[in-house]
Structure 1
Amino acid sequence: MAFGRRKKSKAEDAAVETAAETAGETSTAETGSASDSGDAVQAPAAGGPYDLSERPSEEGYVDLGALRIAASQGLQLRLEVEEKTQRVVAVTLDLEGSSLQLQAFAAPRSETLWDDIREQIGTSVGSQGGTVDELTGTFGTELLAKVPAQAQDGSKGYRVARFVGVDGPRWFLRGVFGGPAAMNPDAAGPLEEVFRNVVVVRGEQPLPPRDLLQLRLPRDASPLPRAKDTAKPAAPERGPEITTIG
């Protein structure tokens, strides 16, 4: 498994920006904590993603703080760093030409977030002239978003992103599939397996709902040297696939 780190730029893919925005990356207006009353949200169904209580061992996993990723042959891992705060805000996994961006958020003990977040994603994508289809997929109700974009040859097209969400006990995990995995079930298989084996480490500290759970570099990995970051522009990041219209 390869590691990388990059700054989160203003040129972030539109569909992925929508995911972060609607999931409440910067929202702290709501209040709540681990002591919320009511019936607790149950752990995800068998098959994952998992809560730490279900898979406490670190063996075979890359520890990123709030998320543990099962090591897999050929899997490349990049941490998204917010330039202003220098905090890690997301992890992107690349495998066999497709990508999967992951973010984990705090959630109320007795409420789920995915229904509300799906509605917000639809509104945000619509405001950009895009469309959203709600589908039943591998992880339950999913969204397939298409946002207008221009292909490299100048022709009109759209970017495609597949949004999945899992409500766990006091956490919410959001994934965005890009590239062939956004549209092709066969291409999605390997990254779906990665998503299925993710372990979320919520922690015991009280947090407002939708606050990002803290990510960090693996203990045995070092940040890329800053000099190399500025020596030449980074290679363009793969976003959700651009599909030409007509």
Structure 2
Amino acid sequence: MFRRRGQGEEPKNDLELTDEETDAAVDDAVETGSDGGPWDAEDSFPELERIDFGAVQVPIGPSLEVQVNVEATEADAEGNPIGGRLVAITVVHGESGLQLQAFAAPKRSGIWDEVRRETGAEITEAGGQAEDAEGPFGTELRAMVPVQIPDEVKDQVPDEIREQGFAWQPVRFIGVDGPRWFLRGVVSGAAVEDEEQWQVLEDVFRNVVVLRGDQPMPPRELLELTLPEEAQEALAQQGDEDDGFNPFERGPEITEVR
């Protein structure tokens, strides 16, 4: 897992806040009129150890693994991906995952209500189920999504699921509209129903920092994600040692925001 020091001089190894940091967060919430994070890069936010991925800074801790999701943009003669761009960051905790994406948004209005309706309609049209529910970040979307069963595990699933050719996956879509940005989280795995695992991922989402930048961008355009400098150096060194090394492996499928 990549690790990078956050704003503070001494990095912290978990997501627990000190009493001083908690008081500061409360003061900031009063000043900004919000209930806390996710945070804009210009906010005064709690100092935690975070990985800097450019548009988003993701908090980390000892029980968390951070993965990058890459969309292939090039292919070799056999059709294998050899290049790509970062399109999402996934934080894994136990049997749960939180996928993070940040998008440009209009200056005076948010996009989460519209995106949530469109996402729910797409899931329903694909044969799944989706409904709004209230959560810690406001209205969220809770869904049951049909997913294909990989061939390598088909002999491990019950006969009735194997015969229908797909399984149901519960998913939670959470979203927060910030100043000229929108942050979406997609929760999968045990945390959808397990409160203990969800609390860890909720803390992660609440402590994400979004850097919108000043450049004009159309609404819903994905904010640029980049690898931390030390990760780029590690990949370059490993690539020099192994000509067959390919860091751009396709990640999990991502629901697009159009």
- 1:124 matched to 2:122? The reply is yes
Q: Which amino acid aligns with 2:214?
A: E
Identical-residue share of aligned pairs (%): 40
- Paired position in structure 2 for 1:48: 37
Query: Which runs of 5 or more structure 2 residues have no equivalent in the other structure?
Result: 4-30, 75-83, 162-166
CA distance in 2, matches of 1:50, 1:62: 15
The 1:184/1:47 distance shift into structure 2, 3 A limit, reads: same
Matched-pair contact (CA < 8 Å) for 1:67–1:104: yes
Q: Which amino acid aligns with 1:108?
A: P
The 1:182/1:97 distance shift into structure 2, 3 A limit, reads: same
The 1:238/1:182 distance shift into structure 2, 3 A limit, reads: farther
CA distance in 1, matches of 2:250, 2:225: 23
Which secondary structure does the structure 2 equivalent of 1:206 belong to?
coil
The alignment's C-alpha RMSD in Å is 2.9
Query: Which runs of 5 or more structure 1 residues have no equivalent in the other structure?
Result: 5-41, 240-246
Give the drift of 1:45: 2.0
Matched-pair contact (CA < 8 Å) for 2:49–2:59: yes
Task: Name which structure has the greater RCO, CA cutoff 8 Å, separation 6+.
Answer: 1
Picking from 135, 140, 143, the partner of 1:142 is 140
- Paired position in structure 2 for 1:15: none
Give the drift of 1:44: 7.7
- 1:179 matched to 2:194? The reply is no
CA distance in 2, matches of 1:97, 1:211: 30
Which secondary structure does the structure 2 equivalent of 1:83 belong to?
strand
Picking from 91, 94, 99, the partner of 1:93 is 91
Q: Which amino acid aligns with 1:207?
A: M
CA distance in 2, matches of 1:237, 1:163: 15
Give the drift of 1:79: 1.0
Matched-pair contact (CA < 8 Å) for 1:55–1:199: no
Picking from 49, 64, 70, the partner of 2:59 is 70
- Paired position in structure 2 for 1:16: none
Give the drift of 1:182: 1.5
Instruction: Kindly report structure 1 stretches of 4+ aligned residues shifted beyond 6 Å.
Output: 56-59, 234-239
- Paired position in structure 2 for 1:200: 210
- Could you state the TM-score of these two structures normalised by the residue count of structure 1? 0.72
CA distance in 2, matches of 1:205, 1:124: 31
The 1:122/1:238 distance shift into structure 2, 3 A limit, reads: closer
- Could you state the TM-score of these two structures normalised by the residue count of structure 2? 0.69
Picking from 192, 196, 215, the partner of 2:225 is 215
For residues 100-154 of structure 1, the C-alpha deviation after alignment (integer angstroms, 9 at most, x for no partner) is 0000000000011000001101110011100002100111101111022465415
- Paired position in structure 2 for 1:103: 101
Asked which structure has the greater CA Rg, the reply is: 2
The 1:82/1:46 distance shift into structure 2, 3 A limit, reads: same
Q: Which amino acid aligns with 2:91?
A: L
- Paired position in structure 2 for 1:83: 72
Give the drift of 1:73: 1.2
For residues 144-200 of structure 1, the C-alpha deviation after alignment (integer angstroms, 9 at most, x for no partner) is 110224654154330111000000000000000010112222220111101110000
CA distance in 1, matches of 2:55, 2:208: 10
Give the drift of 1:220: 1.7
Q: Which amino acid aligns with 2:59?
A: A
Matched-pair contact (CA < 8 Å) for 2:112–2:177: yes
